[in-house]
Amino acid sequence: MLQASARTALCASRRTLASLPHKVYKVPGDDLPVISSDESQVAIGWDPRTWSRFHHIWLRDHCRCPLCFHPTTKQRLLNTFEVPRDIKPVSVESKLDGLTVTWPSSQPHTSFYPWSWLRRNSYDPVHKQEQNRDHEQILWGSKIAQSPPTIAYKEVMHDDLGLYKWLSNIHRFGFSFVTGVPPTPEKTQELAERIGFIRETQYGGFWDFTSDLAKGDTAYTTLALGAHTDTTYYTDPCGLQLFHLLSHTGGAGGASLLVDGFYVASILKELNPDAYKLLSTIPVPAHAAGEPSALYQPSPVHGYPVLSHEARTGLLSQVRWNNDDRSVMSHLDPHEVEAWYDAIRAWHQCLTSPDSEYWVQLQAGTAVVIDNHRVLHGRSSFTGARRMCGAYVGVDEFRSKLATLGDKYSPDDVLLATNNLSDAVHNDRNIWNAAL
């Protein structure tokens, strides 16, 4: 399927380039892309079989000169709405480092776009991006027990490279252990704050609790908890959760359960695509109502599907599942009721399959961080007294830290190609960074 469409795109590209009523400004040597321009677009031939086209208005809007884009704040200065909708370059030139476009205006205005940046941002057609190995997500089942992602506390606290390795683990696997953590709330809090601000909730900021039902939630009991994600009753559920067992005395049990929601979803999609579709489309309302002073429910009030996908790519982006916190399903179409219950039963079966469940007995000194948008957690019941501490960290703080450290320790091809260009790096950040 993919191959067929790639072939079609290739034929189309040849046809289009040949039939465009374009004017070739310059045909440089073999090593430089060939460029041409027509009434509304600039075409770039990367090689005889690969090309991109950019609209004039798009190029003008994306000018990164210091008059159009603040090099320090990385914010647009150009007034997009003053650009004539039919703007056309006076000239386009293929230079060693990139495309240069001169625009008509009272004072001549020249824009420059590095080749690597143009390829990365090609939208006509979209170019398949090389996947950076550090950014690949790895789905896992119970066999992860043989070698779970782990990093030493010393390494995380020592320098940014250690922190980057930890955050990369969380990104790739959806969780990571940290070993050798001093078993105190203070040191655990410092560890959480390496990632970013702690997210305050109705359970407090950094929490430190025992099984005394101090808060009206089953987390504060000795009951077994099935695999779930936290805060399904928020409009934006907490991103990361860190927890650390400080002590367990006078009893037994309380093993921790981790399940990769993305892995389970991939199995369900294979086995039961109809169930997958219902879980991806029917919203599930949820509530937190154990405290008399608080009543949480998401907005919109019917909540979100168990499986959320990125609108443009269709990739699974978030799992929300806590059957205990689910509210009344009064919004189901009568014809969907039985099918929906069948779908969550199928989901539950995949979630609780021995192939999916990773059970681990946590010890004081080993903290774990979970991506609460992907990995579900639970525990077996226990006796005795357990003291746990931990915190939530927002998903945006996590992604921001991962992005800044990734640019430093694992720069992508655009950064590698442009970091040495003059005027590219201001205030420690490259203006051609793919995130901008």
Residues in the site for Zn ion, rule: CB under 5 A? 63, 65, 67-68
Rounded CA separation 1/3 (Å): 5
Rounded CA separation 238/347 (Å): 22
By beta-carbon proximity to Zn ion, the closer residue of 100 and 380 is 100
By beta-carbon proximity to Zn ion, the closer residue of 40 and 102 is 102
Whether 288 contacts 202, CB under 8 Å: yes
Which pair of structure tokens corresponds to residue 242? Answer: 């860190």
| Residue at token pair 């609780």 | 352
By beta-carbon proximity to Zn ion, the closer residue of 77 and 295 is 77
By beta-carbon proximity to Zn ion, the closer residue of 65 and 225 is 65
Query: Please, what is the angle between helix 273-281 and helix 261-271, to 10°?
Result: 130
Q: Kindly tell me the sign of the dihedral angle through the C-alpha atoms of 390, 394, 398, 401.
A: negative
Min CB(78)–Zn ion separation in Å:
6
Name which of 343, 321, 323 is nearest 272 in CA terms: 343
Min CB(116)–Zn ion separation in Å:
19
Min CB(220)–Zn ion separation in Å:
58
- Residue 186's contacts (CB-CB under 8 Å, 6 or more residues apart) are none
By beta-carbon proximity to Zn ion, the closer residue of 104 and 251 is 104
Whether 239 contacts 375, CB under 8 Å: no
By beta-carbon proximity to Zn ion, the closer residue of 68 and 192 is 68
| Widest Cα–Cα separation across the chain | 83
SS3 of 48, please?
coil
Min CB(418)–Zn ion separation in Å:
17
Min CB(27)–Zn ion separation in Å:
26
Min CB(65)–Zn ion separation in Å:
3
- Residue 345's contacts (CB-CB under 8 Å, 6 or more residues apart) are none
